[in-house]
Amino acid sequence: MKRKILISALILSIAGSGCTTSKSEWHSYSGDKTIEHKVDSVLSLMTLEEKIGQMTQFSSHGDITGPIVNEDIEPYLKKGLIGSIFNAVTVEGIRKLQEQALAESRLKIPVLFGYDVVHGFKTIFPIPLAESCSWDLYQIKKSAAIAAEEASAAGIAWTFAPMIDIVRDARWGRVMEGAGEDTYLGALIAEAKVKGFQGNHWKDLYNTNTILACAKHFCAYGAAESGRDYNTVDVSDRTLREVYFPPFKAAKDAGVATFMTAFNEISGIPCTASKYLFRDVLKDEWQFNGFVVTDYTAINELVPHGVAQDEEQAAELAVNAGVDMDMTGGVYLHNLKTLVEEGKVSENTIDNAVRRILEMKFILGLFDDPYRYLDEKREKETILKPEFLQAAREIGNRSIVLLKNNNQFFPITKDRQLTVALIGPMVKNRTSMNGEWSARGNKNESASLFDGLTEKYKNTNIKFLYAEGCDLKEPGTEGFAEAINIARKADIIIAAMGEDYNWSGEAASRSNIKLPGSQQKLLKELKKTGKPIGLVLMNGRPLDLSWEDKNIDAIMEAWYLGTMAGHSIADVIVGDYNPSAKLTMSFPRNAGQLPIYYNRKNTGRPLPEDNPKMDYRSSYLDVENSPLYPFGYGLSYTTFQYSKPSISSGILTKNGELKVSVTITNTGNYDGEEIVQLYIQDVTASVTRPIKELKGFQKLNIKKGESVTADFIIREKDLGFLRLDNTWGTEPGEYKVFVGNDSENVQELKFSLVE
Ligand code: NOJ
């Protein structure tokens, strides 16, 4: 409390003293004059070293995702030379660090504490790829809001999320962190996530249950060549603007407070040195007024990238490119002063970076009270609240994609009398349930499938037998005999298999995306028993399931669903929740098809629809072009029948609109939810256009026997693209509209856009 008064007094004494530095490049994030004035007041008191300190972030401990930087942060902290710390995760730990920072530093500027709260803090939610399959923006926003509530109660004020990279290559381990391959859906999810973490308005950030979000990784990190993490990216400006930018623009428009640079280069320029990305596009064109943080040691990495001869030059490139804060590398801390003295970096550039950072600290209220997030009682009461766990379970239900279900293998209703063999390394696995980036989630306490099923079927005539059968990743057949023996004693088999949690995520690329180790081999042996098999998968990327699709009766993609994983899956297996999720990434037939995505171009030699194998066409000799399971695909326990869709007119005028309608009838035996999808193709344009682009969807709750009509409105602004002359807009001509239950199973309509 004493400290709080001190700081306020300091700021009051300087208010009105005027700031001598130029504000030419600075546009305040909040637009609030009082805050701007306070920022200027603090800035005018700061030495160059103190300013550079604000642009410096260090990690405290734990959760390190790169080379350990051997800097002892304490001396810098005490001198007020650290603006932000990440990886400190409890009220107690954060309080200690904040006290150190404030006790001896001259200006007593509070430190901003950040952390990777990617899909939950203590209550872990489904991995983002799984959650995106729900297409449920309300739930997605809610999971971010709960994560913010828990993280802020532990003293954290900033998360490095959402990760909104468009992902088209399942070899890349980080596909698990994103929202899939589609730009339209990805942009909506980016908005939902940002608003979940931060609230709907910048003023909500003053509430102690919200945290700053960070749109990452700008940009095109997901386009790494060969799906190998950190690898080279070479995409055109057109692809950047049409495919990779929109989720970031949506995050910016939703008010995201910070952006993170990407590790990769784009067309020869490492993102962290890209003036084009950070000054020209983000700060000038989009008028982003928050601040930019690097990824972990990304400025240092400009040296091995080969664009800087040493770290001094790396710092110069990054800061002049518009990168405001250095994560962990210490490069700004050790080089910016010299660079300013040598005239290679202007003090105005430094001031503008510091203004952006200070403004966030004011918005969060850290200058009012640096300890305002720190409340042990709240920390204790907030984490793992029953309603948070319930929300995680429900979002888990909505994230499970039913890929195949012959003979209604699922649901396994409670009224049956059955012996079920539970076989596979995922049956009792708890540690993988949280997936990568599980923050403070306790890996050993997440519910396994076994936990979920035994609780769900308590006091029923469904009996379980269990054998692990094989390891998740190591080859070996030692466990096969026991597994087969058990399978023979059962009526049906549920095989639970997948990838170890750290086989996806950062630095976890794979060249072979089949089930690892001996898992497929075990499935082949189980198949020989002749018993019906339902495969439940837990993994972080689309897998090559070609063999499984041909040979296994039912396949349920359950991803990593977090703390409540086993319960979410059990709800679906028993039929308490009828699966409704649809894939947001195509599942290839094999890794050789990658990258694969539905919104591809036609080429000059497309395959005719009625002839999937033809010479001198864009195709493979050994596999079809199409994915095994397309974007937008997912089954339900019920069946939905689509009427012939209608369109209100064949002509769309520039200011007009069209209505597309389709009626969906639930023709099966369960109430269910259906995600109705609308795609558009611009048939001929000045540049080539994708064969289909998602432009709308509706998730409808339809009771058994009921019919519901979905209406979609199409306006000219939905059809924009980067035209030949590099302007954004439309061109008159013919368009196709596709309505369906996935990106391939569609019915077609047409219209023309007229001037
Ligand atoms: C590296 C990752 O690329 C980034 O996403 C993460 O936020 C940082 N490490 C901090 O942990």
| Interval between CA 396 and ligand 1 midpoint (Å) | 25
Whether the CB of 295 sits within 6 Å of ligand 1: yes
Give the pLDDT confidence of 221-259 residue by residue, as tens digits: 999 999 999 999 999 999 999 999 999 999 999 999 999
DSSP secondary structure of 161-225: --B------TTSGGGGGS--S-HHHHHHHHHHHHHHHH-SSGGGGGSTT--B-EEEEETTGGG-G
Find, among 354, 355, 377, 373, the residue nearest to 364 by Cα: 373
Give the pLDDT confidence of 672-709 residue by residue, as tens digits: 999 999 999 999 999 999 999 999 999 999 999 999 99
| Interval between CA 333 and ligand 1 midpoint (Å) | 20
Higher pLDDT, 490 or 89: 490
Q: Are 517 and 476 in contact (CB under 8 A)?
A: yes
Instruction: Average the pLDDT over 172-184 and give the result.
Output: 98
Report in angstroms the alpha-carbon separations of 68 from 72, 115, 312, 615: 11, 16, 20, 54
Longest CA–CA span in the chain (Å) reads 84
User: Crossing angle, helix 386-399 and helix 565-574, to 10 degrees?
Assistant: 50
What ligand 1 atom has the least distance to the C-alpha of 65? 9
Give the pLDDT confidence of 512-557 residue by residue, as tens digits: 999 999 999 999 999 999 999 999 999 999 999 999 999 999 999 9
The two tokens of residue 314 are 């790396």
Phi, psi of 682 (to 5 degrees): -90, 110
**Active-site entry in 165, 295, 553, 682:** 295
The amino acid at residue 341 is: E
**pLDDT of 70:** 57
| Interval between CA 389 and ligand 1 midpoint (Å) | 26
Q: How confident is the model at residue 73 (pLDDT cuts 50, 70, 90)?
A: confident
Q: How confident is the model at residue 5 (pLDDT cuts 50, 70, 90)?
A: very low
Phi, psi of 526 (to 5 degrees): -65, -40
Instruction: Average the pLDDT over 25-51 and give the result.
Output: 95
Find, among 502, 474, 503, 481, the residue nearest to 423 by Cα: 481
| Residue whose structure tokens are 């403004």 | 359
Q: How confident is the model at residue 742 (pLDDT cuts 50, 70, 90)?
A: very high
Q: Kindly give the pairing relationship between strand 733-740 and strand 746-754.
A: antiparallel
Give the pLDDT confidence of 581-618 residue by residue, as tens digits: 999 999 999 999 999 999 999 999 999 878 777 889 99
Residue 206, pLDDT > 60, answer yes
Question: Is 295 known to be catalytic?
Answer: yes
Q: How confident is the model at residue 12 (pLDDT cuts 50, 70, 90)?
A: very low
H or E element in which residue 77 lies: helix 73-78
Give the pLDDT confidence of 13-22 residue by residue, as tens digits: 333 333 334 5
Whether the CB of 296 sits within 6 Å of ligand 1: yes
- Any idea what the Cα angle at residue 447 is, between residues 442 and 452, rounded to 5°? 170
Give the pLDDT confidence of 346-358 residue by residue, as tens digits: 999 999 999 999 9
Q: Are 136 and 189 in contact (CB under 8 A)?
A: no
| Interval between CA 497 and ligand 1 midpoint (Å) | 28
Find, among 576, 567, 535, 575, the residue nearest to 453 by Cα: 567
**pLDDT of 72:** 82
For atom 7 of ligand 1, which residue has the closest CA?
160
What is the best residue among 177, 295, 300, 438 to mutate for testing ligand 1's pocket, by most ligand atoms within 8 Å of CB?
295
Residue 63, pLDDT > 70, answer no
Distance CA 317, CA 309 (A): 11
Distance CA 584, CA 163 (A): 15
**pLDDT of 610:** 80
**pLDDT of 527:** 98
Name the percent of the chain lying above pLDDT 70.
Answer: 95
Region label for 751, one of left (φ > 0), alpha (ψ between -120 and 50) or beta (otherwise) = beta
| Interval between CA 415 and ligand 1 midpoint (Å) | 48
Q: Report the sign of the C-alpha dihedral through residues 45, 49, 55, 57, in that order.
A: negative
Whether the CB of 160 sits within 6 Å of ligand 1: yes
Distance CA 571, CA 585 (A): 24
Q: What is the mean pLDDT of the chain?
A: 95
Residue 8, Cβ neighbours under 10 Å: how many?
Answer: 13
Q: Are 570 and 630 in contact (CB under 8 A)?
A: no
**pLDDT of 25:** 66
User: Crossing angle, helix 347-363 and helix 311-321, to 10 degrees?
Assistant: 60
What is the best residue among 216, 296, 504 to mutate for testing ligand 1's pocket, by most ligand atoms within 8 Å of CB?
296
> 557: which residues sit within 8 A by CB, 6+ positions away?
133, 400, 401, 402, 403, 537, 539, 583
Report in angstroms the alpha-carbon separations of 648 from 643, 657, 746, 749: 15, 9, 18, 11
Instruction: Average the pLDDT over 562-575 and give the result.
Output: 98
Phi, psi of 668 (to 5 degrees): -100, -155
How many angstroms separate the first and last alpha carbons of the chain?
65
